[in-house]
Structure 1
Amino acid sequence: MPGHGPPHGRARRPGFGWPVYAWGLWDWGSAAFNAVITTFVFTVYLTSDAFGPGADERLGWALAAAGVLVAVLAPVTGQRADRSGRRTFWLGANTVAVVVISASLFFVAPSPDYLWLGLVLLAAGNVFFEFAGVNYNAMLNDISTPATVGRISGLGWGLGYIGGIVLLLIVYFGLIDPEVGLFGITGENGMDVRVTMLICAAWTLVFSLPVLLTVRDDTTARRRSARVGLLRSYRLLFRSVADLWRRDRNTVYFLGASAIFRDGLAGVFTFGGVIAAGTFGFSAGQVIIFGVAANIVAGIATVLFGALDDRFGPKRVIVLSLTCMVVAGLGIFLLHERGATVFWVLGLVLCIFVGPAQSASRTFLARLIPEGKEGEVFGLYATTGRAVSFLAPTSFSLAIGLGLTVAGPGQSAQYWGILGIVTVLLLGLVLLLPVRSRTLPDTALVSR
C-alpha cells in the first residue's frame, strides 16, 4: 500500500529521547484547537444567544461540511506526503494554517452578523487540523521502535489530555472567570473568549515548533518517488482497499465499524460543551470546569481499562464502553428536564468510556493484522476514520431538526442532538458485533 510502509527507510530511534518528546509536544499544543476551541470555549460562545437562534444547528452543518472535505481529501494527503518524503513540511504547513485560523477567531464579535464568519473559520480550522493529524500520526514510526511504539503513542495521547486541562485552567482563571482578567480584559463584547483565541494560536505554535525543528524530511524519498496526481493517488488507495478486501474481509469490516463509532466518540467531545451550555444552562466557566473534569476522567479511565483490555480482550472493552455510552446518552436525553446534575453525572459517565473505546479499538486492530501488514492497515485505519468524520455533525443537526418538528415553533430542541450522537455510537456498535476478534503472538502486534 503506497504511502503506508516503513518510514522512508530510516532507522528508528530507540528509547524515549528528545525526538519522542518533541513529537508528543505537538499533541500538547494541538489541545488548544481540539479542546479549547472546538469543544469547550469557542463553539459554546458561537452558539450562545448573542449569535441568534439556530446557531447550534448551523454549527452542526458547518462541521459536517468540513467533514465532507476531509472525507474527499484526507485519504490521500498522508499517502502523498509519504511518497514525497515531506511529512514534516506538510505537518508544518497545516499547523500554521490552524494557528492563523485560531488567531482570526478573535475577529468574531458576539453578533448574528459574525456567525457565518465564525462557522467558516471553525470549519476550515477543522479541515487543516485533520490534515495536520494525518502527517503527525504518520511520524509515529519515525520516532519509535517495535518495542516502544505503544508507549510512545500513549505518551502523545496523554500529553494531549494534559495539555487541554492546563490550557483550560489558564484561560478560565486568567480570563473567563474573573470580572476583570489578565491585562484588564473583561467579558464585554466577548473579549475574554476572543483573546483566548489568540492565546490558543500562540499555544499551538510554540508547542509545534519542537517537532518541526527536530524531525527532518527524507529528501531521498522525495528523489525516489515519482510525482503522482490526485486522481492517481485515489486509484492507488482504492487498489489497496480492494487488495485488503480480497485477503481479509474481517479486517475491512472492523475498519468500517470502528470508523463510525470513533466519529461518534469524537462527537461526544465536539458537542458536549454546546449541549451543556444550551440545554443545561452551564455558564462559560462551568463548561470549562466540566471540560477539565472530563479530560481527567477520560485520561485516568484509559490507563485503568488497559488492564481489562489485556485480560478480557479489546472487543469486550469496546462493546462495554459503547453500550454504557449509549445508555448514558439516552439518560441525558430522557432526563434533561431535571437539570445540570443529570449532565454532570451522565456526562462524566460518557467521558469515562471515550478513551478506553479509542485505545481498545487500536489494540483490536493490532490483533487482526497479519504479520508484516501493520503499517499498511494502520494507515487505512486513520483514513477510514477521517472519511466518515461528517457523520456525527450531520446526525446532530438532523436530530435537532427532527426535534424542532416534534416540539413545534418557538421551542428549544437542542437536546435532541444527543440522539444524533447516540445513533452514530449505536450504529458502530451493531456493526462491530459480528466482527471476529483474534489473538496473535505479542511479537506480531508490534512487528513492522
Structure 2
Amino acid sequence: MADMDPGDPRIPAEAVAAAAGVSPERTSRGRVLAWGLWDWGSAAFNAVATTFVFTVYLTGKAFGDETTTSTALSWALAAAGIVVLLTAPIIGQRTDVSARRKLWLAINTGIVVLCLALMSLVRQDAAYLWFGLGLLAVGTIFYELAAVNYNAMLTQVSTPRSVGKVSGFGWGMGYIGGIVLLLIVYFGFIHPDVGLFGVTGADGMSVRVSMLIAALWFAISAIPVLFAVPENKPIGGGRDKVGFFASYRLLARDIARLWRESRHTVYFLLSSAIFRDGLTGVFTFGGVLAAGTFGFSAGEVIVFAIAANIVAGIATISSGALDDRFGAKPLIVVSLVGLIISGLCVFFFHAGGQTVFWIFGLILCLFVGPAQSASRTFLARLIPPGREGEVFGLYATTGRAAVFIAPLFFGIFVAIGGAQYWGILGIVLVLLVGLLLLLPVKASQPQLR
C-alpha cells in the first residue's frame, strides 16, 4: 500500500481509499458525530472569541473610541491571515505525507484553547488592547491550521453520496454549539448583575470568566474525534518527506500541476478565497456593528447571537440535502446573492436602528452557513485519497487565509465614510467580487489526480 499512486487508474478506488483511512462504502454515525463535535466545540472560538463576546469587549469604550479599536481589530486579523497564507498549504501537505493529521489537529487545537484561556487575563483597560488582539490573532492562526486537518478528515467520515449532508451536519453542529455556549455565558455570567461563582461585570470579569468557560468547552469537545476517527495513512507515489522549506518547492510543483490538469479547480480556489473571507467578515464584524452602530448592549448582542446561530444552524443542516441533490455551486450562488442583498439593506436602512439589524441580520444568517458548507463539499468531491490535507491546505490559504481582505476593506470603508457602519459596504464588496469570480467556474470537473 505504501507505494500506491492515487492517480494510477489500474488501482481500485476502494483500495486507495482504504490505504488513506477512508471508508468509501458507508458512513459511520459514530465517527460523523465525533467529527462534528469538533465543530460544536469550535463555537468557543468562532462565536465567543471572534464574533459576539471577546471582539465586542475589545472594541468597547474602555479600550478606546470605536473607530480606533475597530481598525486595530481589522489589522490584527489581517496580519493573522497573512501568516496562515504562508503556512497552511505546507502544513496540510506535510500531514498527508507524515500521516500525523490527528496529532497536528490536537496540537493546533490545544494552542487555540490556550489562547482562549489567556484571554481571561485581558483587563478592561486600553493598555491591554494589543495583548488581547495578539491573543486573537495567534488563536486565529492556529484555528485555521487546525481546520486544515479537520476539513481533510471529511472524506474519512463520509461517502461521495453523503459528503454534503456530513459537511452540513458539521457546520450545523458548530452553530448549535454556539447557541448552547452563548446561553451558558449569557445567563451564567454576563446578563446577571452577579453571575455564577459571584462573578460581576467589574473590570470585565464576566467576559474574562466566559473565556475560561470557552476554553474548557473547546478542549472537551475536541477529544472525541481524536479517538473515533483513525489516523490517516500516507500513500506513496513519490511523495516522500522533505524539509520545511523544500515543501514550498513541492507546493509550487503541485500548484503548477493543478493548473494544467484542473484549471477550474484553481479558479474555484481563487473565487472562494474572496467570498469565504466575506462570509467570515459577516460574523467577525457582526457583533461589533451591533454594539457600535446599532446600540446593542453586551447582553443584547448575545441574545441576537443566539437567534442568529439558531437560524444559521437550521439553514445549514437543511442545505446538506440540497447540496447532495443539486450540487454545491447553485447553493453557493443563491447564498451569495442573498447575502449581498441583505447586507445592502442593513447599510441603506441603518437609520432604522435595531429593528433593521434584527430583520436583515437574521436573513444574512440564513445564507452564511450553506455557502460555507457547500464550498467545502465542492472541493471535497474533487480530492483523491491521500491528498486531502494538501488540497485543503490550499483551500485554507486561498480562502480563510485571505482573512486580511475583509478586515482590510472593512477598515478602508470605515475610514472613507467616517462611521463604523460604512464597513458593511466593504464586506458586501468582497462578497460581490467572490460571486463574480465564481460564476464562470464549471460545476462539473474531472477529479484531481
Q: Same fold judged by TM-score > 0.5? A: yes
Q: Secondary structure at the match of 1:178?
A: coil
Q: Which residue of 2 aligns with 1:352?
A: 366
The 5 A counterparts of 1:429-448 are: 429-438=435-444
Q: Does 1:25 align with 2:37?
A: yes
Unaligned runs of 5+ residues in structure 2 are 8-15
How many pairs does the alignment contain? 432
Q: Does 1:320 align with 2:326?
A: no
CA distance in structure 2 between the partners assigned to 1:313 and 1:70 by the alignment: 29
Contact kept? 2:22, 2:385, Cα under 8 Å: no
Q: Which residue of 1 aligns with 2:56?
A: 44
Q: Does 1:164 align with 2:178?
A: yes
Q: Which residue of 2 aligns with 1:417?
A: 423
Distance verdict in 2 for CA 1:291–1:241, change over 3 Å: same
Contact kept? 2:323, 2:331, Cα under 8 Å: yes
Counterpart of 1:39 in structure 2: which amino acid? T
Per-residue Cα deviation, 1:367-414 (whole angstroms, up to 9, x for no partner)? 7x498899575664344223322211111112212223xxxxxxxx11
**1:237 Cα deviation from its structure 2 partner:** 1.6
The 5 A counterparts of 1:250-399 are: 250-306=264-320, 309=323, 314-365=328-379, 369=382, 375=388, 380-399=394-413
Counterpart of 2:262 in structure 1: which amino acid? D
**1:292 Cα deviation from its structure 2 partner:** 1.0
Per-residue Cα deviation, 1:312-355 (whole angstroms, up to 9, x for no partner)? 65433322321221122122122222211111111111111112
Q: Does 1:180 align with 2:194?
A: yes
Q: Secondary structure at the match of 1:435?
A: coil
Q: Secondary structure at the match of 1:355?
A: helix
RMSD after superposition = 2.9
Distance verdict in 2 for CA 1:17–1:429, change over 3 Å: closer
Q: Secondary structure at the match of 2:372?
A: helix
Q: Secondary structure at the match of 1:345?
A: helix
Contact kept? 1:75, 1:387, Cα under 8 Å: no
Q: Which residue of 2 aligns with 1:16?
A: 28
**1:247 Cα deviation from its structure 2 partner:** 2.1
Contact kept? 1:103, 1:201, Cα under 8 Å: yes
Distance verdict in 2 for CA 1:28–1:362, change over 3 Å: closer
**1:417 Cα deviation from its structure 2 partner:** 1.1
Per mean C-alpha deviation after superposition, the further-off stretch among 101-110 and 80-89 is 80-89
Counterpart of 2:255 in structure 1: which amino acid? V
CA distance in structure 2 between the partners assigned to 1:286 and 1:162 by the alignment: 19
Per mean C-alpha deviation after superposition, the further-off stretch among 10-19 and 165-174 is 10-19
Contact kept? 1:57, 1:397, Cα under 8 Å: yes
Per-residue Cα deviation, 1:244-277 (whole angstroms, up to 9, x for no partner)? 2112322221221122101101110111001000
Q: Secondary structure at the match of 2:222?
A: helix
Counterpart of 2:371 in structure 1: which amino acid? A
The 5 A counterparts of 1:48-87 are: 48-53=60-65, 54-87=68-101
Per mean C-alpha deviation after superposition, the further-off stretch among 22-31 and 53-62 is 22-31
Contact kept? 1:75, 1:386, Cα under 8 Å: no
Distance verdict in 2 for CA 1:268–1:213, change over 3 Å: same
Q: Which residue of 1 aligns with 2:12?
A: none
**1:192 Cα deviation from its structure 2 partner:** 0.4
Contact kept? 1:78, 1:135, Cα under 8 Å: yes
Distance verdict in 2 for CA 1:119–1:258, change over 3 Å: same
CA distance in structure 2 between the partners assigned to 1:160 and 1:261 by the alignment: 20
Unaligned runs of 5+ residues in structure 1 are 405-412
Q: Does 1:207 align with 2:221?
A: yes
Distance verdict in 2 for CA 1:364–1:46, change over 3 Å: same
**1:141 Cα deviation from its structure 2 partner:** 2.9
CA distance in structure 2 between the partners assigned to 1:216 and 1:365 by the alignment: 22
Distance verdict in 2 for CA 1:320–1:11, change over 3 Å: closer
Per mean C-alpha deviation after superposition, the further-off stretch among 266-275 and 302-311 is 302-311
Contact kept? 1:84, 1:225, Cα under 8 Å: no
Q: Which residue of 2 aligns with 1:426?
A: 432
- % identical aligned pairs: 60
CA distance in structure 1 between the partners assigned to 2:360 and 2:73 by the alignment: 24
Counterpart of 1:275 in structure 2: which amino acid? L
CA distance in structure 2 between the partners assigned to 1:302 and 1:21 by the alignment: 16
Q: Which residue of 2 aligns with 1:132?
A: 146
Contact kept? 2:6, 2:385, Cα under 8 Å: no
**1:364 Cα deviation from its structure 2 partner:** 4.4
Match of 1:34 among 43, 46, 58: 46
Distance verdict in 2 for CA 1:159–1:305, change over 3 Å: closer
Q: Secondary structure at the match of 2:341?
A: helix
Q: Does 1:194 align with 2:208?
A: yes
Per mean C-alpha deviation after superposition, the further-off stretch among 166-175 and 141-150 is 141-150
Distance verdict in 2 for CA 1:316–1:73, change over 3 Å: same
Distance verdict in 2 for CA 1:47–1:358, change over 3 Å: same
Per-residue Cα deviation, 1:171-204 (whole angstroms, up to 9, x for no partner)? 1111111111101111111110000000011111
